[in-house]
């Protein structure tokens, strides 16, 4: 084993020196060359060298200690053989130091003496002077076995005579420590596992180990750059290297190649294969040229006229500076808040920071991310042109018109009309504005002169024949040439000629009514909804002014005239499919426009100019076209229960009062939902009304007030109506939880009449 | 006998839009290729007014493109190149897996290439359009031009972007069109006025890149691919507009001896290095020197609408001329710790001379010991061997001078001094906004100066 290792070292050392010796008998095979080397142990030179090294060491050992450093003492692992070599090579001094540990080891002592002798006596010692054989040095004869097997025994093996080799005494840890502290050679002391003894490595050993560690030749003296000897020269020699005969394929043309060439030739002939062009440098580099020579748009790019360029990134502010003014830096709390916010919510996507000088500014970590996000924005975000209006914020605040501009409107109570003994439910003004008619729960209808407040006439209904004597509704015919008042009482609608004002008008009215002669065919064929009966001149009631009676099947709650004065409509809330009837005065005929009930009808109104009929049920207002006989609009009032309704004289705007205190303004051109809703009343709204000429409307409520509002409607369709509440008119007292029940504007003056549960009628001017 | 009822979603909004998947199916592309195509062609999604109607009643969120846009994309010849490239990759993979080196080499040599010239022309019909959209292009190119080599980005993109940005900076220097500069914590912002358009771009701070993980570099590369083409054509046009050679030629290239730094470089590399030093002027097309600038004749105030306008324009022009020659006659020397390229670019844009130690980079023109140096830019608390004949200032001085269009007093910028705050020149305070006191002081000073000069 050990001899083999030694012999292995030798060829390395004397590789090519020996070659010359062996050259003559070396055979041609590689193996033989190397084996030849192996066979030739040549120790003479090595020994010589070793001894010379030794002699060198003797002189220079002490001062060279520092030069040799072993990085890793504990990691040092040497094979047994190596260690033995090392131990043989150790010099005197080392041996002296280790003297006590070698006690009982005669051979080593002998060796030491021998060495001393050799060192002292001769320059060139004889190679057999000392024992160089490894074999003899082996005292432990256990062989190549793991020495752990002896771990538990006091001995470490057996010598050649079979005696136990005792383990050398080992000190405890304290000794070890002292040794470590005191012994200058502690760092290069290793334990021989075979003998359990400590060996101090010599300088050469250390050098050798270092060489091995740094993957160099172990022997520092070895020549690394020997001249190259070309054994298998590229030059053609007379004799072949091998004696093998050449293979057949080396002198027969290849069939495979022939096939391939044939294919290529065919491809060339057919033009499938083309010679590759050599690449020029210009091709690889991009060539730029004058792309925008003429700034004309080509056909294909015309679509890009609608191209929206992406908005530019915002420019940095002071806060982004590397050295911002201190007020831009965040405080601790602000910074914490910033950290806790979601990245999308942050106002700034960076934390302002201050650096004392430019060289301390680091690279911004999110720079690439921000660029990437910008890229994503560019190709993933939808773009849309946004028309940014330059609006002065002050323009947005609606300007309240001055009260002076809103005038005239009624401001103060002028006249109180007293005379009724019960709640006055309804009033109406004649088209000239001279007379006022009022209907009350006491069963009387009174005619008043507006300017003086005098009761001109009072008609008390006979309770017996007509049942309930409540006057539900009175309406003066709006036509100035007709003097008629429609009175709804119980199931009857009575047309009364009050006989006030111009005599000509009253007489004319009577004459017209008299001259009527019914045409039989018409009245026969159709269903009769209301029973018309005229009152004879001889009748007592004729004196009172009664002209016509219309008997209805159900109780009538409201009558209203068409603007021309020929038609009027009556409402029977409980009449189901017959809840609205339209009567024609000139032909004394009634018709039912609807054959189906759409709910409980609250009130109806004629459109002032066009053939429309507004029908208010509890929650909706339907607008019917009477000519086409169809529904043209349905207004959502958004209130619980509609109480009353009024149409603007233009016909495009209506107001609706409801029992839930609201007043809603509808612009029919704009929407079916309220344009504006006013909630100035505290209690249910009972009546609403427009002024025919002035931009005024009024609402009467159970809280005893009448609220007058300015409601300007513009001819310009783009301009919304202007609605400003201007006056709260108080005066009526509340009785039985009822306040003001009706309000009517004077046809020509900015005056408003109101009637209430306190049995009075009041005029506000 | 009613009319035949029209089916729903057969006309109107429902037919004007197409979801992304529909578009991909129609174009027969992969999603990645579709994205590339959209980026290259500048197609972006559109938000329909009534999503539900477009989506045939469903309310699932989708990305919509205009059908018109997709039809337009379908005519793009580059789509064929994408398909060719797909085949190329397939063949190459096969050759590699078969270890057929010959075939591999042959296939590689026939790699399909495409050009984006026509797309540039199509997206930007006029040069002004292109200039207006240049901000993102410049920022991306400057980012890629300063990126380190790495596995994430192809080297050719980096080199190309670097080359083009250097050319662009040379143009800005030659035309003296830089207007504003600003050091932010994100990078250094520049604003230039080119042919009446304000171009703003940002250059990241020095080195020390950290590649983020949540970034798709393929998307960025596609953008850079288009942007480099665009910037190349813009550079070409810009160079020709001021009579310069394109590709740029250095004035004194042949005369400059080869440095020891440059010995190991090839001819091309050396040239590129010298060019990117920014220290030399470019050679002009006409050797006889540029023609004189046309002076506006003064007209009597015929235009009654604003007689002050001409006067104002003149004052403005005067101001710009003063700014362009801000550093004229000054000789700067840069210490090695300051960001060299940025400062060289700024100083040269405003007419100054600049140099640095020759071991820092190629292209230094004079050594530190030159006695005629007026300013040395230093970013350290103290320096040894100070020369008495020059001022030592911190780099912020250069930036603040540019933004204030005048040479500021240097006391507060001496080495080691606490710097005054660096304010953004891009902020224009409206009435009622907060104005930092330093800014207010500057405005007052400028007003005072102007009044003085007026009197």
Confidence of residue A315 (pLDDT cuts 50, 70, 90): very high
- State how far Cα B2 lies from the chain centre: 65
Q: What rounded mean pLDDT belongs to chain A?
A: 76
Residue A707 carries which DSSP code?
E
Confidence of residue A165 (pLDDT cuts 50, 70, 90): confident
Where b means 16+ CB within 10 Å and e means fewer, B248-271 reads bebeeeeebeebebbeebeeeebb
Helix B155-175 crosses helix B217-241 at what angle (to 10 degrees)?
A: 30
pLDDT at A300: 56
Strands (DSSP E) found in A399-512: 413-417, 424-429, 435-440, 444-449, 455-460, 471-476, 485-489, 492-496
User: Both tokens of residue A554?
Assistant: 């159900």
Structural domain containing residue B190: 117-207+215-248
Residue B439 and residue B315 share a domain: yes
CA distance A313 to A641: 57
- Phi and psi, residue B320, nearest 5°: -65, -40
pLDDT at A374: 94
DSSP per position, A600-636: ---EEEE-SSSSEEEEE-SSEEEEEETTTTEEEEEEE
Residue B2 is assigned to a structural domain of this protein: no
Q: Is B72–A303 a contact, with Cβ atoms under 8 angstroms apart?
A: yes
Q: Is B209–A363 a contact, with Cβ atoms under 8 angstroms apart?
A: yes
Tell whether the model's pLDDT for residue A78 goes beyond 90.
no
Ramachandran sector of residue A663 (left: φ over 0; alpha: ψ -120 to 50; beta: rest): beta
Nearest Cα residue in chain B from A321? B184
B275 burial (CB, 10 Å; 0-12 / 13-18 / 19+) is buried
Higher pLDDT, A257 or A2: A257
Tell whether the model's pLDDT for residue A464 goes beyond 60.
no
Residue B372 and residue B317 share a domain: yes
Residue B25 is assigned to a structural domain of this protein: yes
pLDDT at B331: 93
- Which site among B108, B134, B185, B417 would you substitute to test the A interface, given the most A Cβ atoms closer than 10 Å to its Cβ? B185
pLDDT at A40: 40
User: Both tokens of residue A356?
Assistant: 């004392």
pLDDT at B142: 94
Mean pLDDT of B56-82: 91
Residue B256 is assigned to a structural domain of this protein: no
Confidence of residue A24 (pLDDT cuts 50, 70, 90): very low
Residue B372 and residue B315 share a domain: yes
Higher pLDDT, B89 or A58: B89
Residue B303 is assigned to a structural domain of this protein: no
Tell whether the model's pLDDT for residue B299 goes beyond 70.
no
Residues 214-243 of B with CB under 8 A from A: 214-216, 219-220, 223, 229, 232-233, 235-237, 240
User: Both tokens of residue A387?
Assistant: 């028309």
Q: What rounded mean pLDDT belongs to chain B?
A: 86
Share of chain B above pLDDT 90, in %: 47
CA distance A186 to A189: 5
* Other beta carbons within 10 Å of B439: 18
Out of B197, B231, B248, pick the residue that ends a domain.
B248
CA distance B429 to B431: 6
- Phi and psi, residue A437, nearest 5°: -120, 145
What value, to the nearest 5°, has the Cα angle with vertex B164 and ends B160 and B165?
115
CA distance A318 to B403: 13
Ramachandran sector of residue A62 (left: φ over 0; alpha: ψ -120 to 50; beta: rest): alpha
CA distance A102 to A168: 9
Residue A240 carries which DSSP code?
-
Of A121-130, A391-400, A452-461, A749-758, highest mean pLDDT: A749-758
Q: For the sheet containing A620-625, what is the strand order? A: A603-606, A612-616, A620-625, A630-636
Residue B402 and residue B342 share a domain: yes
CA distance A54 to A120: 12
* Other beta carbons within 10 Å of A388: 6
Nearest Cα residue in chain A from B435? A318
Closest Cβ–Cβ partner in A321, A363, A369 for B423: A321
Q: Is B223–A289 a contact, with Cβ atoms under 8 angstroms apart?
A: no
Distances A669 to A605, A673, A697 between C-alpha atoms, Å? 18, 11, 19
Residue B145 is assigned to a structural domain of this protein: yes
pLDDT at A527: 67
Residue B83 is assigned to a structural domain of this protein: yes
Residue A73 carries which DSSP code?
S
- Which site among B31, B38, B125 would you substitute to test the A interface, given the most A Cβ atoms closer than 10 Å to its Cβ? B125
Counting the structural domains of chain B, the total is 4
CA distance A183 to B21: 83
Q: Which of B319, B230, B135, B379 is nearest to A313 (CA)?
A: B135
Enumerate the H helices of A295-427 as residue ranges.
Answer: 332-340, 367-380, 393-396, 403-406
How many angstroms separate the CA of residue A670 from the nearest CA in chain B?
Answer: 23
CA distance A658 to A687: 9
Determine how β-strand A612-616 pairs with β-strand A603-606. antiparallel
Mean pLDDT of B13-28: 92
Residue B68 and residue B83 share a domain: no
Task: Specify whether the CB–CB gap between B400 and B422 falls below 8 A.
Answer: yes
pLDDT at A295: 58
Mean pLDDT of A112-124: 44
Which domain CATH number covers B329?
3.40.50.10190
CA distance A354 to A361: 9
Mean pLDDT of A721-736: 85
Sign of CA dihedral B267, B273, B276, B277: negative
Closest Cβ–Cβ partner in B130, B135, B210 for A365: B210
Task: Specify whether the CB–CB gap between A61 and A93 falls below 8 A.
Answer: yes
Tell whether the model's pLDDT for residue A246 goes beyond 60.
yes
Out of B87, B109, B131, pick the residue that ends a domain.
B109
Tell whether the model's pLDDT for residue A466 goes beyond 80.
no
Of A525-534, A554-563, B174-183, B431-440, highest mean pLDDT: B174-183
Mean pLDDT of A226-243: 81
pLDDT at A125: 52
User: Both tokens of residue B224?
Assistant: 């850079």
Q: Which of A49, A490, A399, A15 is nearest to A229 (CA)?
A: A15
Q: Is A363–B123 a contact, with Cβ atoms under 8 angstroms apart?
A: no
Mean pLDDT of A168-188: 87
Of A262-266, A363-367, A431-435, highest mean pLDDT: A262-266
Mean pLDDT of A11-39: 38
pLDDT at A100: 39
Residue B122 is assigned to a structural domain of this protein: yes
What value, to the nearest 5°, has the Cα angle with vertex A42 and ends A36 and A48?
160
Residue B156 and residue B48 share a domain: no
Higher pLDDT, A597 or B262: A597
Q: Is B396–A316 a contact, with Cβ atoms under 8 angstroms apart?
A: no
pLDDT at B435: 84
Residue A214: helix, strand or coil by DSSP? Answer: coil
Closest Cβ–Cβ partner in A292, A364, A375 for B237: A292
CA distance A194 to A153: 14
Residue B125 is assigned to a structural domain of this protein: yes
Residue B85 and residue B61 share a domain: no
* Number of helices followed by number of strands (H, E) in chain A: 20, 33
Determine how β-strand B353-356 pairs with β-strand B331-334. parallel
pLDDT digit string, tens, across residues B154-190: 888 999 999 999 999 999 999 999 999 999 999 999 9
Higher pLDDT, B261 or A555: A555
* Other beta carbons within 10 Å of B219: 19
Out of B90, B109, B128, pick the residue that ends a domain.
B109
DSSP per position, A532-546: EEEPPTTSHHHHHTE
* Other beta carbons within 10 Å of B2: 4
Residue with tokens 């250390």: A206
- Which site among A274, A351, A372, A381 would you substitute to test the B interface, given the most B Cβ atoms closer than 10 Å to its Cβ? A372
pLDDT digit string, tens, across residues A480-494: 888 888 888 888 888
Residue B299 carries which DSSP code?
P
CA distance A581 to A592: 5
CA distance A260 to B152: 42
Residue B240 and residue B138 share a domain: yes
Residue B153 and residue B71 share a domain: no
User: Both tokens of residue A521?
Assistant: 């065919």
pLDDT at A162: 86
User: Both tokens of residue B286?
Assistant: 């006409």
Q: Which of B240, B238, B255, B245 is nearest to B284 (CA)?
A: B245
User: Both tokens of residue A149?
Assistant: 């097997």
Residue B319 and residue B241 share a domain: no
ipTM: 0.91
CA distance B280 to A114: 83
User: Both tokens of residue B114?
Assistant: 């495409």
CA distance A730 to A369: 71
Query: In terms of residues, how long is chain A?
Result: 765
Nearest Cα residue in chain A from B428? A317
- State how far Cα A267 lies from the chain centre: 61
Tell whether the model's pLDDT for residue B454 goes beyond 50.
no
Q: Could you tell me which residues come within 8 angstroms of residue A282 by beta carbon, excluding any fewer than 6 positions away? A: none
pLDDT at A129: 55
Residue B397 and residue B346 share a domain: yes
Residue B318 and residue B414 share a domain: yes
């Amino acid at each position: 084993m050990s001899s083999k290792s030694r012999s292995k070292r030798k060829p390395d050392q004397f590789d090519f020196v020996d070659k010359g010796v062996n050259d003559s008998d070396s055979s041609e095979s590689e193996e033989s060359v190397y084996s030849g080397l192996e066979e030739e142990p040549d120790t003479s030179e090595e020994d010589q060298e070793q001894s010379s090294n030794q002699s060198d060491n003797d002189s220079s050992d002490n001062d060279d200690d520092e030069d040799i450093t072993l990085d890793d003492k504990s990691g040092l692992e040497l094979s047994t053989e190596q260690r033995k070599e090392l131990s043989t090579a150790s010099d005197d001094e080392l041996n002296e130091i280790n003297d006590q540990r070698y006690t009982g080891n005669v051979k080593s002592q002998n060796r030491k003496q021998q060495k001393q002798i050799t060192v002292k006596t001769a320059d060139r010692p004889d190679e057999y002077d000392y024992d160089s054989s490894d074999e003899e040095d082996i005292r432990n004869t256990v062989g190549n076995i793991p020495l752990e097997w002896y771990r538990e025994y006091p001995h470490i093996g057996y010598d050649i005579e079979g005696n136990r080799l005792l383990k050398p005494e080992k000190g405890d840890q304290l000794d070890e420590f002292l040794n470590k502290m005191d012994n200058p050679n502690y760092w290069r002391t290793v334990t021989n596992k075979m003998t359990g003894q400590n060996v101090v490595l010599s300088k050469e050993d250390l050098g050798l180990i270092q060489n091995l560690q740094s993957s160099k030749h172990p022997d520092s003296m070895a020549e690394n750059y020997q001249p190259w000897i070309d054994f298998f020269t590229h030059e053609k020699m007379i004799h072949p290297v091998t004696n093998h005969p050449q293979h057949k394929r080396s002198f027969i043309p290849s069939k495979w190649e022939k096939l391939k060439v044939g294919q290529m030739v065919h491809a060339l002939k057919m033009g499938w294969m083309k010679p590759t062009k050599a690449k020029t440098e210009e091709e690889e580099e991009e060539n730029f040229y004058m792309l925008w020579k003429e700034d004309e748009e080509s056909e294909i790019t015309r679509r890009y006229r609608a191209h929206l360029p992406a908005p530019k990134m915002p420019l940095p502010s002071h806060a982004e500076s590397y050295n911002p003014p201190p007020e831009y830096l965040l405080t601790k709390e602000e910074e914490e808040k910033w950290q806790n916010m979601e990245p999308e919510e942050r106002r700034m996507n960076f934390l302002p920071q201050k650096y004392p000088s430019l060289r301390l500014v680091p690279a911004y970590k999110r720079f690439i991310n921000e660029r990437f996000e910008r890229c994503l924005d560019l190709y993933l975000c939808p773009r849309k042109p946004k028309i940014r209006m330059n609006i002065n914020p002050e323009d947005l605040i609606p300007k309240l018109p001055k009260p002076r501009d809103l005038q005239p409107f009624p401001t103060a109570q002028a006249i109180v009309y007293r005379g009724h003994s019960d709640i006055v439910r309804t009033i109406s003004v004649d088209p000239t504005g001279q007379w006022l008619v009022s209907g009350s729960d006491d069963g009387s209808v009174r005619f008043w002169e507006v300017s003086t407040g005098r009761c001109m006439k009072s008609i008390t209904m006979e309770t017996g024949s007509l049942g309930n004597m409540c006057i539900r509704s009175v309406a003066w015919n709006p036509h100035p040439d007709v003097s008629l008042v429609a009175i709804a009482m119980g199931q009857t609608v009575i047309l009364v000629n009050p006989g006030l004002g111009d005599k000509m008008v009253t007489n004319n009215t009577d004459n017209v009514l008299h001259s009527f002669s019914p045409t039989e065919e018409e009245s026969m064929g159709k269903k009769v909804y209301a029973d018309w009966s005229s009152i004879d001149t001889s009748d007592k009631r004729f004196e009172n002014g009664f002209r016509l009676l219309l008997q209805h099947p159900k109780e009538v709650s409201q009558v209203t005239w068409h603007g021309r004065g020929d038609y009027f409509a009556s409402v029977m809330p409980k009449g189901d499919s017959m809840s609205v009837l339209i009567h024609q005065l000139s032909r004394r005929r009634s018709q039912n426009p609807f054959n189906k009930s759409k709910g409980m009808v609250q009130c109806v109104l004629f459109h002032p100019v066009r053939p429309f009929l507004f029908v208010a049920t509890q929650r909706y207002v339907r607008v019917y076209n009477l000519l086409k006989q169809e529904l043209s609009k349905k207004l959502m009032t958004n209130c619980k229960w509609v109480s009353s309704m009024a149409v603007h004289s233009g016909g495009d705007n209506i107001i609706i009062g409801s029992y839930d205190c609201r007043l809603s303004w509808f612009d029919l051109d704009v929407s079916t939902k309220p344009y504006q809703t006013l909630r100035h009343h505290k209690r249910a709204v009972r009546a609403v009304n427009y002024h025919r000429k002035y931009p005024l409307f009024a609402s009467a409520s159970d809280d005893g007030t009448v609220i007058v509002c300015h409601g300007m409607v513009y001819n310009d369709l783009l301009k919304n109506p202007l609605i400003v509440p201007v006056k709260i008119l108080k005066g009526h007292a509340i009785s039985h939880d009822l306040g003001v029940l009706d309000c009517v504007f004077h046809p020509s003056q900015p005056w408003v009449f109101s009637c209430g549960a306190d049995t009075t009628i009041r005029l506000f001017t | 006998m009613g009319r035949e009822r029209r089916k729903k979603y057969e006309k109107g909004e429902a037919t004007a839009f197409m979801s992304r998947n529909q578009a991909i199916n129609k174009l027969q592309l992969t999603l990645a290729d579709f994205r590339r195509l959209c980026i290259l062609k500048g197609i972006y999604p559109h938000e329909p007014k009534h999503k539900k109607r477009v989506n045939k009643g469903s309310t699932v969120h989708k990305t919509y493109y205009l059908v018109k846009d997709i039809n337009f994309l379908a005519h793009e010849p580059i789509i064929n190149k994408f398909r060719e490239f797909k085949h190329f990759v397939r063949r190459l993979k096969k050759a590699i897996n078969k270890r057929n080196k010959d075939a591999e080499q042959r296939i590689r040599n026939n790699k399909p290439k495409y050009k984006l010239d026509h797309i540039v022309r199509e997206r930007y019909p006029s040069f002004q359009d292109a200039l207006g959209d240049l901000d993102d292009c410049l920022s991306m190119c400057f980012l890629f031009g300063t990126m380190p080599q790495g596995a994430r980005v192809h080297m050719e993109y980096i080199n190309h972007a670097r080359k083009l940005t250097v050319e662009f900076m040379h143009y800005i220097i030659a035309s003296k069109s830089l207007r504003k500069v600003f050091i932010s914590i994100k990078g250094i912002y520049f604003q230039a006025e080119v042919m009446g358009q304000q171009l703003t771009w940002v250059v990241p701070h020095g080195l020390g890149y950290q590649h983020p993980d949540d970034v798709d570099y393929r998307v960025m590369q596609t953008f850079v691919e288009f942007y480099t083409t665009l910037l190349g054509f813009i550079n070409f046009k810009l160079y020709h507009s001021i009579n310069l050679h394109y590709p740029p030629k250095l004035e004194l290239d042949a005369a400059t001896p080869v440095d020891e730094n440059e010995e190991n470089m090839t001819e091309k590399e050396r040239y590129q290095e010298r060019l990117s030093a920014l220290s030399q002027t470019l050679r002009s097309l006409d050797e006889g020197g540029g023609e004189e600038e046309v002076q506006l004749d003064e007209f009597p105030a015929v235009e009654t609408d604003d007689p002050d306008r001409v006067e104002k324009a003149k004052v403005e022009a005067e101001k710009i001329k003063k700014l362009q020659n801000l550093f004229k006659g000054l000789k700067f020397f840069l210490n090695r710790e300051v960001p060299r390229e940025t400062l060289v670019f700024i100083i040269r844009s405003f007419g100054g001379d600049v140099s640095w130690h020759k071991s820092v980079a190629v292209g230094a023109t004079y050594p530190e010991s030159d006695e005629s140096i007026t300013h040395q830019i230093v970013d350290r608390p103290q320096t040894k061997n100070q020369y008495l004949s020059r001022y030592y200032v911190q780099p912020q001085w250069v930036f603040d001078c540019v933004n204030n269009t005048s040479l500021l007093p240097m006391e507060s910028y001496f080495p080691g001094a606490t710097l005054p705050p660096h304010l953004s020149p891009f902020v224009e305070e409206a009435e009622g906004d907060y104005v930092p006191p330093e800014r207010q002081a500057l405005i007052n000073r400028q007003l005072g100066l102007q009044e003085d000069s007026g009197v």
